[in-house]
Chain A
Amino acid sequence: MRITLKIWRQAGPKDSGRVATYQVDDVSEDMSFLEMLDVLNEDLNDKGEEPIAFDSDCREGICGQCGVVINGQPHGPEVTTTCQLHMRSFKDGDTITVEPWRASAFPVIKDLVVDRGAFDRIIQAGGFISANTGAAPEAHAVPVPKKKADRAFEAAACIGCGACVAACPNAAAMLFMGAKITHLGELPQGQPERWNRVRAMVNQHDEEGFGGCTNIGACSAACPKEIPLDVISTLNKDLFTSLRK
């Protein structure tokens, strides 16, 4: 296949950035989207032009490090991560635009690479269970009903990629945060800190400059791990309860 790419290039955080157009011939359907970018980068390097910076690590859809907006959609046209998007989703002759995540809480570092440190800081605010190493009770001491365990698991599947934020017109991080609140809140071990956790995380969320949720649902639709929208209701419910405690 022959693909035309319109890619966001930005030399650094202070640079204003521009769109550059490239051509990649010889794209095979079996390539992942990132492998196609690798090929382009080899070509640029040969021509003496600096390769395009983009993030990735596991390349199997689990670390959450990759992620760009492709033709306006976070991660691209399929509900998956960018590294798991394959070129068979495109046609010969296609023109594809590629941009970094857009959200003021995710500043661009270079080209397609953004800083998602805000997510870590939200977790620091309370996205954990305070269990010091050692002296944990026997794992079978507290049974967990399978239904709760399954819901906790489903929410825990969030990979922290940030697509939900990129998809949201308000740049809210409610799906990401709701996933963590739900994961820990469903488990007996998560109860003691439940109400503090939700307040602290929501405060941090707002402080980082993420927007407010207006129930649009674009986040869940873009989420490669299909985190359900109802984690946001859980978050809201918990927040409401916590304010009365």
Chain B
Amino acid sequence: MSHTIYPEPATRSEEEGMLHGLYREGDPISDAKAPAGPIQGRWSQRKFDAKLVNPANRRKLSVIVVGTGLAGGAGAATLGEAGYNVKAFCYNDSPRRAHSIAAQGGINAAKNYKEDGDSTYRLFYDTVKGGDYRSRESNVYRLAEVSATIIDQCVAQGVPFAREYGGLLDNRSFGGVQVSRTFYARGQTGQQLLIGAYQALERQIAAGTVEMFTRHEMVELIVVDGRARGIIARDMVTGEIETHLADAVVLASGGYGNVFFLSTNAMGCNVTATWRAHRKGAYFGNPCYTQIHPTCIPVHGDKQSKLTLMSESLRNDGRIWVPKRKEDCDKDPRQIPEEDRDYYLERIYPSFGNLVPRDIASRQAKNMCDEGRGVGPEVAGQGRRGVYLDFAEAIERMGRDAVSAKYGNLFDMYERITGENPYEVPMRIYPAVHYTMGGLWVDYDLESTIPGLFVAGEANFSDHGANRLGASALMQGLSDGYFVLPNTIRDYLASGPYPKVDESHPAVVEAQEAVRRRIEHFLTCNGTRSVDSFHRELGLLMWEYCGMERTEEGLKYAIEKIRELKKEFWSNVRVLGGAEELNQSLERAGRVADLIELGELMCIDALHRRESCGGHFRAESQTEEGEALRDDEDFAYVAAWEWAGENEPPVLHKEDLVYEFVEMKQRSYK
């Protein structure tokens, strides 16, 4: 698809130190706090070095955990068990409903149960390579090291993983890797893992170590004397603005894929918790890294609210193709003979075929549609946006019953949503936004640039680099929550309890006031447009210009547009209802306000990174064959952005990525 001609982007005057008229560069980040020495020993060393808190003192220490998905639920339960006073928050009506529940495919662990050559080192290696060499070696090694323990923990809790007839756990393989290391519970792995963490959490709630606040939304972070000391939360039922203070704060509030409006994320997913912290001084790492998932059900209409993922495991048996000729695109696919089909992934990447990593599979699907060979209904202005995922051959090879045993629930889901029977007609799929690799910058201890503020799970930027391999987000969430955070946060808490703060502290009063002003503004703005209409507009801009493919001029255009949108939002939004009641438009207004600001930063980050890597494809940086072209010379760093104030250009801090163990290579799946 050729890009439209953009109006000349309005550039700000090149003030001193401004780069691209959009940001400034600050000091590099020199230390991410990982211990030195052989990579195998780093985590043990760190655990040993982290100070201990004796059990009697733990009762005197308090921790706030925002978010009770896999990362927060596991973290809150474990910290409660250890004897700290924990307060946990989520916006859902029960912690069991966090977005983690939607994960279908599975969770990786280096157990080598299949004796197929897997090991901690191989999981580490695959993850660094899969992340396109934009993640930290020390973190990733730790993740691989802890992975096996996660499975033990979950089995002990009663998570019903798939088993073989001998009673042992079963594994499967997942996109981008050649070993079977993925543990799964049919198509409901996320649900089962979350229920495990949720039950552990409920047990602590009953034991009185964790106080749970459901339907509570964190709307502001409280920073006192440079340390994170609490949050302001809105009780979403009564509208009450509550202040909660503690010795440390953990954010485990998930990802921000909903900046695109249409995504596979739950409707409530948002960036508010991390964005509010960002505005208080926490750096935001790699905001532009978005993972696009190749196997989603295509968009069907303009009133659609979300996209649905079809598990990636489908790629193990389904074959992906489009017609060779444009003229065939509107034909019944069953009428298109074999020789007129282009199994493009198998053709371009013979050794991985349909199992190439997500970013590659996604971009090639887009390329096929851009060439005019997409299938399915026409989407206004964009042509046909779909490719076939065909099970005809699998059905012939394995029999319909075997296919149904393996994928039946997914096939049913597809039929329910599209009204088409995938046993008869090939499924149609198209890429969709799925996961965000960016998030608050954290060091090896998961601590942000605000002392006492820790960030876990999808909310932080660490571990996945520019691209996340399948089945590794669940692994990271649980690793952070059960094993990493409880060990690192004690080092911080050991220096507590921190000086007492009460609600009259100026920093607290200021945070409360800011929240009240915001709410009042939304309710009295009395504009003409709904919150959702702004969200949709933002989403379209982001998808078009900061989605699967980004260009210099497109990003500049989007930044201008987002700034205009922000202005209009603040002057023309309409939110009805009151402050002191359940008010869903008001909740969304606050979230969309933050998503708009984030959108601008994502575009700035994408613009400054003039290379292609993983989920970030810059059209100007590609090989002759059209593959992503990384620039390790200039961009082998984490981009950590500092908020410099309202209408001030953000400040970029670079953390250089050093590879001591894995050699940086051009990623090739040919």
Contact = CB atoms under 8 A, between A and B. Distances in A.
Interface in A173-188: 183-184, 187
Interface string A129-156: 1111110111110111110010011001
Contacts of A134: 149, 153, 482-483
Interface stretch (B3-11, B18-26, B157-165, B446-454): B157-165
Interface string A51-80: 101011111111111000000000000101
B590 to A, nearest CB: 16
Nearest to B187: A62
B42 interface: no
A173 B208 CA distance: 25
B301 A109 contact: no
Most buried by A among B163, B300, B418: B163
A71 B131 CA distance: 50
A31 B188 CA distance: 24
A45 B303 contact: no
Contacts of A205: none
A58 B156 contact: no
A133 B486 contact: yes
A119 B94 contact: yes
Interface residues of B, number: 79
22 contacts: A30-B419, A39-B303, A49-B576, A50-B577, A51-B577, A60-B308, A84-B413, A84-B417, A117-B93, A120-B202, A123-B202, A124-B202, A128-B202, A129-B157, A131-B157, A132-B81, A133-B482, A136-B152, A136-B156, A157-B191, A189-B156, A189-B157
B164 A146 contact: yes
Given A42-B530, A45-B585, A184 B158 contact: yes
Contacts of A189: 155-158
B158 A183 contact: yes
Interface in B74-108: 74, 77-78, 81, 92-97, 99, 101-102
Nearest to A45: B530
Contact of A51 (B185, B237, B584): B584
Contact of B576 (A50, A149, A159): A50
Nearest to B198: A123
B118 interface: no
A180 B581 CA distance: 33
Interface in A105-137: 109-110, 113, 115-117, 119-120, 123-125, 127-134, 136-137
A209 to B, nearest CB: 18
Interface in B576-607: 576-577, 581-582, 584-585
Query: How many A residues touch the partner, as a band?
Result: 35 or more
A59 B267 contact: yes
A32 B527 CA distance: 29
B169 interface: yes
A219 to B, nearest CB: 19
Contacts of A124: 202-203, 205-206
Contacts of A120: 94-96, 202, 205, 212, 214
B226 interface: no
B111 interface: yes
Interface string B100-128: 01100000000101000000000000000
Contacts of A11: 581
A17 B608 CA distance: 55
A190 interface: yes
Contacts of A55: 93
Contacts of A61: 413
Contacts of B214: 117, 120
A4 to B, nearest CB: 18
A121 to B, nearest CB: 9
Contacts of A116: 93-94
A51 B584 CA distance: 8
Nearest to B111: A139
B94 A117 contact: yes
A38 interface: yes
A65 B92 contact: yes
Contacts of B389: none
A57 B99 CA distance: 8
Contact of B186 (A28, A31, A53, A153): A153
Contacts of B486: 133
A187 B158 contact: yes
Contact of A64 (B96, B167, B188, B417): B96
B97 A48 contact: no
B193 to A, nearest CB: 11
A122 to B, nearest CB: 9
Most buried by B among A58, A59, A64, A138: A58
Contacts of B54: none
Given A38-B303, A51-B584, A56 B160 contact: no
Most buried by A among B92, B95, B309, B482: B92
Given A110-B581, A139-B154, 15 more contacts: A42-B533, A45-B530, A58-B266, A60-B102, A62-B191, A65-B92, A65-B97, A120-B202, A133-B77, A133-B483, A134-B482, A139-B111, A142-B155, A144-B163, A149-B161
